[in-house]
Amino acid sequence: MRVKVLTHTPEPEKTVAAAARLCYSNAGACEIMENLTEEKISSFIQKLMDMGHMSPTEHVTFTFAIEGVSRTLLAQLTRHRIASYSVQSLRYNNPFKEELKKEDETEAAKLKSENETYLKGFLYAGGEKALYKSFIEESGVLPALPEEIPEENLSHYVRGIFDAAGEISNGSFTISFPGTFSSILARTPFKFTAEGERLLLSGKDAVDFCLHIYGGVDFAGSLFLREKLVELCTRSADFFSGIKKQAEDYIAYRYYCVLPQAVANNPEALLVYIDALETCKKSYLAMVKMGIDREDARYVLPMGTRTNLVVTMNVRSLYNFFNLRCCERAQTEIRELARMMLAEVKKIAPNLFKKAGAPCEATGYCPEGELSCGRYPVRN
C-alpha cells in the first residue's frame, strides 16, 4: 500500500484560523489572514479543537493518492460519504492484459523444465512415486544424478531431494539429509557438516538453504510438498518471513491482489488463498477468451483485487474517518491506511490534526463498550 498527499488547501492551518476568527471579528477574512501570526494560528486552532467547534475545518481539503489497496478496503472507504473519489476501473483496465495477449509459452516451458528437474531429484532421493504418478508418467522423468542438472535448475532439484529425503529436526532449526546424498554438496553453495551418517545444516545456514530451494517457487505451479513447506514456516520465523515476502510479491504480480495480514501469518491459509486466487484468475481468463466482456467476467475476480484511487476529504470528514478507522476495532487494511493518512497530514498541519485518531487516544477512554480492545478504560 502506498499513500501520498497529492495536494491540499494552501496554508491549511491559517485558513482554518482565519475562518474561525472571522466569526468573532469586525474585520474581513482578507485582513484577518494578513494579520495572523504563527502563535495566533496555533492558539485559535487549539481553542477550536477544545470547544469541538469543527465547522471552520471544512474549508480545508486534502487529496490523497492511494495505491495497491484491495476492493474490500474500497467498499469500506467509500462508505465515508463526505468525500470525493476517483477509482481505477476494472472495466477499462485489465489486470491480466499480458496473459490475454498471448499464451506465455516461454513461462510454461520454464515451469515444466523446473518441475521435471524437481522430480529428477525427488526420484533420485527415493521419493514416493505415487505422489506424482501422473506427472512422472506424462513427462517420462527418470531419477538423475546431480551432475546432470543444469545450474539454473539446481535449486528445484535440491528441493526435490529435500522433499524426498530431507528432515527438519526438533530443537534448533536443523535440516538433515542421509549421508548418501553428499554428492549434492559439490553443486550447492552451502557448507554441510557431516555428523555420523547425516549431513546437517543448522540455524542461519539452514534458513538460507530453505530460502534458496524455495526462492524460485511458483506457488501455484511448482511442485513442492505443502506439508513440508508449512512445517518449515512453523519451525523457523526467519524462513517464514522470507516466504511471506516472496508470497506477497507473487500475489501482487501474478494475481494483482493484496495479501491480508492474517492470511500471510498462517502458512496453510496462505496456500489456500493462492489456490483460490488461481481459480478466480483461470475462470476470468477463460471467460474473456470466450468473448465475455471484461465488465461481466470481472464478477469472478476476488475482493482482494488491487486498485488505485484518489480521495479528497475536508478536515472535519478526515477527523471522523480517523476516529472510526484508526481504532483497533477497524479492519486491519483500512486501519493501516487510516494511520498512514494521519501520519501524512500531521506532517503538513500538526496543530490541526493534534487530536485526530482513535477516540481513546484523544480522550483517554474507549467508547466501544464490551467490544473494546482493552487498551483504554471503557467509560461507564
The residues annotated as belonging to the active site are 325
Whether 216 contacts 224, CB under 8 Å: no
The residue number whose beta carbon is nearest to ligand FAD equals 81
Considering only the stretches 75-83, 101-109, 236-244, 284-292, report the one whose residues sit in contact with ligand FAD under the rule CB under 6 A.
75-83
Is position 294 annotated in a ligand binding site? no
* Cα separations in angstroms, 70 against 57, 80, 94, 259, 300: 30, 16, 15, 9, 15
323 labelled ligand-binding: no
Q: Is 301 annotated as a binding residue?
A: no
Residues that contact ligand FAD, how many (by CB under 6 A): 10
Residue number, 243 or 338, with CB nearest to ligand FAD: 338
**Which residue in 210, 170, 175 sits closest to 193, CA to CA?**
175
**Residues with Cβ < 8 Å from 309, sequence gap 6 or more?**
66, 69, 74, 77, 85, 86, 87, 88
91 labelled ligand-binding: yes
Nearer to ligand FAD, 184 or 334 (CB): 334
The piece of 115-123, 127-135, 240-248, 320-328 that touches ligand FAD (CB under 6 A) is 320-328
CB of 328 to ligand FAD, least distance (A): 9
Sign of CA dihedral 133, 135, 137, 138: positive
Residues in CB range of 136: below 8 A, 6 or more apart: 119, 123, 129
Tell me the C-alpha distance between 102 and 45, whole Å: 59
Binders of ligand FAD in range 260-319 (CB under 6 A)? 317
Smallest distance, ligand FAD to C-beta of residue 368, A = 9
| Cβ closest to ligand FAD, residue 324 vs residue 345 | 324
Q: Any long-range contacts for 374-379 (C-beta under 8 Å, 24+ apart)?
A: 375/328
Q: In angstroms, give the least distance from the CB of 366 to ligand FAD.
A: 13
55 annotated as a binding-site residue: yes
The response to whether 71 counts as a known ligand-binding position is no
Q: Is position 169 an interface residue for ligand FAD (rule: CB under 6 A)?
A: no
Quick one: which of 33, 190, 320, 365 contacts ligand FAD (CB under 6 A)?
320
Distance CA 368, CA 379 (A): 9
- Backbone φ and ψ of 96, nearest 5°: -115, 40
The span of 140-148, 273-281, 322-330, 357-365 binding ligand FAD (CB under 6 A) equals 322-330
To ligand FAD, the closest distance from the beta carbon of 139 in angstroms equals 51
How many Å apart are CA 160 and CA 116, to the nearest integer?
Answer: 10
**Residues whose CB falls within 8 Å of the CB of residue 226, separated by 6 or more in sequence, listed in order:** 271
Figure out which of the listed residues 324, 337, 356, 358 binds ligand FAD, where binding follows CB under 6 A.
324
Provide the minimum distance between the beta carbon of 315 and ligand FAD in the complex, in angstroms, as a whole number.
13
Chain position carrying cell 480545508: 60
CA distance 166 to 146: 16
Residue 358, interface with ligand FAD (CB under 6 A)? no
User: Considering the complex, what minimum distance in angstroms separates the CB of residue 317 from ligand FAD?
Assistant: 5
229 carries a ligand binding annotation:
no
Measured from the CB atom, the residue of 254 and 325 that comes closer to ligand FAD is 325
What's the closest the beta carbon of residue 316 comes to ligand FAD, in angstroms? 8
Positive or negative, the Cα torsion across 36, 38, 43, 48? positive
Between residue 78 and residue 97, which ones bind ligand FAD under the rule CB under 6 A? 79-82
Q: CB under 8 Å to 130, separation ≥6 — which residues?
A: none
Residue 311 among known ligand-binding residues: no
Taking the least distance from each CB to ligand FAD, the nearer of 99 and 328 is 328
Length of the chain in residues, anyone?
380
Q: Is 330 in the site for ligand FAD (CB under 6 A)?
A: yes
Burial of 101 (0-12, 13-18, 19+ CB in 10 A): exposed
> Binding site for FAD, residues?
55, 79-81, 314-316, 320
Give residues in contact with ligand FAD (CB under 6 A).
79-82, 317, 320, 324-325, 329-330
